[in-house]
Chain A
Amino acid sequence: MTTSGTPEGPLLRIDAMTKTFGGFVALDSVNVEIRKGERFGLIGPNGSGKTTLVNCISGALRPNKGAVVFAGEDITQVPPNQRSHRGIARSFQIPRPFRSMTVLENLMVALDFAAHRHLLETASHRRDAAMSILTRIGLASRAGMATTALTQVELRKMELARAMATGPKLLISDEAMAGLSTSEVDEVLDLLISLGGEDIAIIMIEHIMQAVMRFSERVMCLDAGKIIAIGAPAEVMSDPRVQEAYLGT
């Protein structure tokens, strides 16, 4: 697994990453590799560094130390828009739609600036592509609606649709299920599982344990910026340190 860049190498490698905010250490020398097409669950109590890790992967934040290697290339200094072009897409913990636009237009932004734009030469091709993603996500009937008129679950789905429109190899879902009802959680979870596949790896950050267990091939638990457990879901859940981090002592 040391030869990066070959098809067998990991899709994403986080190398000894440290991120501090003033004196607060949000991430402390984190090392992790994610395979192509893997479904990866990321858990940890509030403030454990999950979103900071996502921000460092997507480029919203630069780490103080360490490297992000994606598809064999060091992208630590690459701005977020170029990371998107290389295949990293994300949703946000608090949805961030383009509020002055309709749902379809939100997706058109991603398609207009996507790296695979040459495959979708005309605006009508891109419109068709956007509609087909919306159909797949189950938002086709909302295409012409303003994002301000969407319900919470629709907004979450719209964010996933928009991320899909960038043509990702890695999709990061940052608490896409927070605040949803049980049936809505199942709905979004089914959607996430269906979006992943041989070509798209998904990192799912979540607090809802049933969802994490059902979704993940591997789970990693962060606490105070450090990895305290990583491995098969059942193993991680039964780890006493994970239980301690979540339930306290």
Chain B
Amino acid sequence: MQRNSIAFWSGAAIFLIAMLLMTQFVTNEYPFFAGYVILQFVVLSVAWTILGGYAGYVNFGTNAFFGVGVYSAVLLIQAFQAPLVVQILVAAAVGGLLGLGIGLLTLRMRGIFFSIATIAVAIIIETAITNWRFVGGAAGIQLQRPPVMQPFDSYVKMLFFVQAFMVVLAVAITRFIQNSRIGRGLQALRDDELAAECMGVPTLRLKLLACVISGALISAGGAPAAMYVQFANPDSAFNLNISVSVLAMSLIGGTAHWIGPVIGAILLGGTQQFLAVTISSEINVLVLGIMLVLFVVAAPKGIIGLVERIRRAGEKA
């Protein structure tokens, strides 16, 4: 194993141990309640970056994948009282299949056309769920949490740790893609699809792969949300704010490296949680919008681009 990998996996292990210890020794539930949302956005943003960042296909349908994750869980709970792990795994599979389907239908479109198509898909799925009585229809559905598992003393703490585990999983997969030839191929097709294809890069296959992995991870990240709020309705599960937040977090963090969306999600997710408590949750979207505009104008490559620029300027001086 390379030194880089050793550092990465040690970091991941320390992170998980720290999160586990936190669930054991912190009694106040609020940090977990807020932290869960931040971790969830880390998963979503990192997953989004595979397609939106590396491949340059801006997916506006994050809410479609998220909602599909939530409703996969709802369906499994309603039908079989399935445990959380099964909910997440099935959600990932359904999200991956959805990614494949969307990919086959829309990846031949470029730029804004692809983005619009993904919004359309989200609306179609939301409409279908709204009219499906078994999972609650438009009114939504109330969910009962099963008893919490050892060693956790509350369900929210358990979900917090599960989401922390998914952060590690999502980052590890994304990091693998970035460092493999898949990452180089995606970067090449983002720069110039025809040139990439003529250099032997199987562009359609790579885009589908990115779409499937990204979709599976987003749906997996969304699945525990059903149990987190103990309620699901189409309006919140397919809320366009999810797409906008994830897009903003990834772009503000920077999409050239997996650390970008992690930083962006922690920064923006943290700010949102802070604002929700101190001012109001309504102001979140406003702050998000303003920050996105500021970054697009002042630092189009996000925080990691900004750091890189400062570092280079420092070297020259």
* A interface residues, Cβ below 8 angstroms from B: 58-60, 79-82, 84-85, 89-90, 92, 96-101, 105, 108-110, 112-115, 162-163, 165-166
B200 touches A96 (CB 8 A): no
Check if B307 is an interface residue, CB within 8 A of chain A: no
- A43 to B203: give the CA distance in the assembly, Å: 31
Contacts A112-B184, A112-B185, A113-B181 given; does A81 touch B202 at CB 8 Å = yes
Interface size on B, residues (CB 8 A): 20
Contact B191 A100 (CB under 8 A): yes
Check B198–A90 contact: CB distance below 8 A: yes
A101 touches B191 (CB 8 A): yes
Query: How far is A113 from B196 in the complex, measured between Cα atoms in Å?
Result: 10
Can you sample 16 A-B contacts with CB below 8 Å?
A59-B197, A60-B198, A79-B197, A81-B202, A82-B202, A84-B198, A84-B200, A92-B195, A97-B195, A98-B195, A98-B196, A100-B190, A110-B200, A163-B199, A165-B199, A166-B200
Q: A98-B191, A108-B184 are in contact. Are A113 and B198 (CB under 8 A)?
A: no
Given A96-B195, A101-B191, CB of A115 within 8 Å of CB of B184: no
B201 within 8 A of partner (CB) = yes
Task: Give the distance in Å from the alpha carbon of A81 to the alpha carbon of B203 in the complex.
Answer: 8
Partner of A162, one of B187, B199, B202, B256: B199
Q: Are A110 and B194 in contact (CB under 8 A)?
A: no
Shortest distance from the beta carbon of B98 to any chain A beta carbon, whole Å: 25
Asked if B192 CB lies within 8 Å of chain A CBs, one says yes
Q: What CA separation (Å) do A113 and B186 show in the bound complex?
A: 12
B188 interface residue, CB < 8 Å from A? yes
- Contacts A80-B194, A105-B184, A113-B199 given; 19 further ones with Cβ under 8 A? A59-B197, A80-B197, A80-B198, A81-B200, A84-B200, A85-B200, A89-B198, A89-B199, A90-B198, A97-B191, A97-B192, A97-B195, A99-B191, A100-B191, A101-B187, A110-B199, A114-B200, A115-B200, A165-B199
Closest chain B residue, CB of each to CB of A159: B195
* Interfacial chain B residues near A84, Cβ < 8 Å: 197-200
Q: Are B201 and A113 in contact (CB under 8 A)?
A: yes
Q: How far is the CA of A115 from the CA of B162 in the complex (A)?
A: 42
Contact between chains at A109 and B184 (CB < 8 Å): yes
Residues of B within 8 A of A81 (CB): 197-203
Q: What's the dominant secondary structure at chain B's contact region?
A: helix
Q: Which residue of A lies closest to B180 (CB)?
A: A112
Shortest beta-carbon distance, B200 to chain A, in Å? Answer: 4
Q: Name the residue in B188, B194, B201 with the highest tally of chain A Cβ atoms < 10 Å from its Cβ.
A: B188
What separation, in Å, do the CA atoms of A163 and B191 have in the docked complex?
17
Please name all residues of chain A whose beta carbon is closer than 8 Å to the beta carbon of B187 when the two chains form the complex: 98, 100-101
**Neighbouring A residues of B185 by C-beta, 8 Å:** 109, 112-113
Which 10 pairs show the lowest CB-CB distances between chains A and B?
A84-B200, A98-B191, A112-B181, A96-B195, A113-B200, A80-B197, A110-B199, A109-B188, A81-B202, A96-B192
Q: Is the CB of A60 within 8 A of B194?
A: yes
Alpha-carbon gap, A165 to B199, bound state (A): 9
User: With A and B bound together, what is the CA distance between A95 and B198 in angstroms?
Assistant: 13
Contacts of B192 in A (CB 8 A): 96-99
B45 to chain A: closest CB distance in Å? 20
B200 contacts across to A, CB distance below 8 A: 81, 84-85, 110, 113-115, 166
Contact B198 A109 (CB under 8 A): no
Complex alpha-carbon distance, A59 and B185, angstroms: 19
**Bound: A101/B186 CA distance, A:** 12
**Bound-state Cα–Cα, A109 to B196, Å:** 8
Mark each residue of chain B from 198 to 210: 1 if its CB lies under 8 Å from any CB of chain A, else 0: 1111111000000
Partner of B194, one of A96, A115, A162: A96
Which of chain A's residues has its CB closest to B194's CB?
A60
Smallest CB-CB separation from B199: which chain A residue? A110
Within 8 A of A (CB), among B202-227: 202-204
Q: Cβ of A96: which chain B residues have Cβ within 8 Å of it?
A: 192, 194-195
Report the separation of the CA atoms of residues A84 and B194 in the bound assembly, to the nearest whole angstrom: 12
A residues within 8 A CB of B202?
Answer: 79, 81-82, 113
Chain A residue with the shortest CB-CB distance to B198: A80
C-alpha spacing A58/B198, complex, angstroms: 7
Complex Cα distance, B6 from A39, in Å, reads 52
The CA of A112 and the CA of B184, in the complex, are separated in Å by: 8
Shortest Cβ distance from B202 into chain A, in angstroms?
5
* Cα of A79 to Cα of B191 in the assembled complex, Å: 19
Measured between alpha carbons, how far is A143 from B236 in the docked complex, in Å? 50
> A84–B197 Cα gap in the complex (Å)?
8
B194 and A109 form a contact (CB under 8 A): no
Docked-complex contact A98 and B188, CB < 8 angstroms: yes
Rounded to whole Å, the gap between the CB of A43 and the closest CB of chain B is 23
Complex Cα distance, B112 from A28, in Å, reads 36
Interface string of B134-168 (1 = CB under 8 A from A): 00000000000000000000000000000000000
Residues of A within 8 A of B191 (CB): 97-101
Docked complex Cα distance between A109 and B201 (Å) = 8
